[in-house]
Amino acid sequence: MGNDSGPIILLTAALDEKQKARILAAAPEARLVSEADLAAEPDLVRRIEVAYPRLPSALWARAEGLRWLQSSFAGVDGLLAMPEARRHPAVFTNVHIHVHCLAEHLWGMALMLVRNLHGSVRAQQSGHWDAPAVSASVGTLAGGTLCVAGLGAIGRQCAAIGRLMGMRVIGISRGGRPDPSVDQVVTPDKRREVFAVSNLVMLLLPGTEETRGFVGKAEMDALRGAWLVNGGRGSAVDTAELVRALRDGRVRGAGLDVTEPEPLPDGHPLWALPNVIISPHYGGVHPGYEEESLEVFCSNLRRWVRGEPLQHVVDKSKGY
């Protein structure tokens, strides 16, 4: 489909004819090819210039003409974990379409933990009314301190909700620059000091070597009974230490949309802890996701055709 003399775009998503037509409207001279086309014409892989939303791992070594890959995810740590992809000169771009849904998801977890709504659900399932039991451990956030680690678009949205809840908000960012979405910004090396004064900590960190083990024993010691919610990557938290901290009260409760390992295996201690809420990494899922991702690609494709800078370019050295 498209003009054989134009750029070759590899589509590895199942798109219908209307969606393909939108891509061709953005790049009328393009030729759209599929993985089946590559199987029928193996040398074609060397001529691919653009790929959406992924390039199969077996093709990286031969995709010498690839100039740009548009991912349909925000996190690209899995992509960059492949040495051949990280070394490839192609530009990588991601999507920023998770802001509202993930903020809603994390705040939903936080409010369940603080108000012990998960305890009420268990009581409801047992068909037993026991107000003293389920209300004994409730807390409140108004007047407290929220720490948001990772001040990207999602982190800023979480911070805005925290302010509406009547909380003071402290952000943690690599650069430590002031940000109007929070009351104070500190660098990662100050995280224990901030954890010590926080009632709720939200983690929205990318999966990099720099963020691995961001919350370990010393950080959980500093939390002193705060709630912890993780919507970034499971690798940011020492899982074994988290289990111990949840059992001894250093962490009052945890909401986890991501875990390490992932998926969390059957029988893992986290499943049985009453002060934990686990969702299987679907915080970014929302109606219309595929259409929004395709629109980001088409918008960037129009820029690419015109020779303009692409949006949401990934810094491979940083990992996001």
Other Cβ atoms closer than 10 A to 287: 8
Distance (Å, whole) CA 267 – CA 289: 32
Q: What is the DSSP string of 234-269?
A: GGGB-HHHHHHHHHHTSEEEEEESS-SSSSPPTT-H
Q: What is the DSSP letter of 308?
A: P
Distances (CA, A) of 40 to 3, 34, 59: 18, 10, 14
What does the alpha-carbon distance between residue 8 and residue 46 come to, in Å, rounded to a whole number?
10
Whole-number Å distance between alpha carbons of 103 and 224: 24
Cite the active site residues.
Answer: 233, 262, 281
CA gyration radius for the chain?
Answer: 22
Separation of alpha carbons 103 and 91, rounded Å: 28
